[in-house]
Amino acid sequence: MNSSFKLASVLLQYPSAALFDGLDELDAFAAGTSPRPAREAFGQFLHWLRTTSPTEVAQHYVETFDLRRRCALYLTYYRYGDTRKRGMAMVIFKTAYRDAGFVPCESELPDYLPMVLEFADLCPRGERLLHSHRADLALLHRALEKAGTPYASIISGVSAQLPRLGRRELSQVRTAWESGPPEEEVGLEPFAPPEYLSGYGASVPAGAAVPR
């Protein structure tokens, strides 16, 4: 599997003390990442971690991902916002996890990017989820770049390992960027029978998305 997806998953989670304690190991891993654009992108972000105090990094993380609507780490949010369609879209994530025997963290929504990235490291179906949300990753990257945050480098590293956007996807990105996520609020629960969404199986434990 693609372990650089696991690296991105770790780096996109809330910056705990363990993250800073493991910087040497993360640097060594990033140095072996390919292709070159991904290696350079991860290296840029890790350099920022090394030269910034943990308190400042934590504050920056909250300001970036918790307080900026366009920078949310949820893949279906850019296309559907808080609408009924988003609930249906998340059924696809839950089904993929269940069918692969992957047990997601219950404290996060199934489209939480660090969790999807860990799934992509473990299973080809996870990588296919990333492919199908390539346009959403592009929107997140654009938002992070506009915010001037080093976290944009992580999305650059992930994107470098995925197919380039086609003409149709580029059009989707432009339209979604101009309009922003839909604002209709009808709840986020997927509209499918509860028994269909439960019981993912226990063959692959999930370590991503550790709750803060």
For residue range 8-43, list pLDDT tens digits in order.
999 999 999 999 999 999 999 999 998 999 999 999
Supply the pLDDT for residue 83.
82
Q: How many domains does the chain have?
A: 1
At 207, the pLDDT band (50, 70, 90 cuts) reads very low
Contacts of 92 (CB under 8 A, 6+ apart): 129
List helix spans (H) across 123-166.
Answer: 124-132, 134-147, 152-159
Rounded to whole angstroms, the Cα distance separating 93 from 114 reads 13
Contacts of 66 (CB under 8 A, 6+ apart): none
Query: 143 in a domain, yes or no?
Result: yes
Supply the pLDDT for residue 51.
97
Mean pLDDT of 108-113: 94
Query: 163 in a domain, yes or no?
Result: yes
Query: 94 in a domain, yes or no?
Result: yes
The mean predicted confidence, pLDDT, of the chain is 84
Question: pTM for the complete prediction?
Answer: 0.81
What percent of the chain is modeled with pLDDT above 90? 62
Q: Per-residue pLDDT for 81 more than 90?
A: no
Range of the domain at 22: 3-205
CA of residue 101 relative to chain centroid, distance = 20
Rounded to whole angstroms, the Cα distance separating 134 from 15 reads 25
Query: 211 in a domain, yes or no?
Result: no
Query: 210 in a domain, yes or no?
Result: no
Q: Which amino acid is at 98?
A: R
* SS3 state at 103: strand
Q: Per-residue pLDDT for 180 more than 70?
A: yes
Query: 130 in a domain, yes or no?
Result: yes
Query: 212 in a domain, yes or no?
Result: no
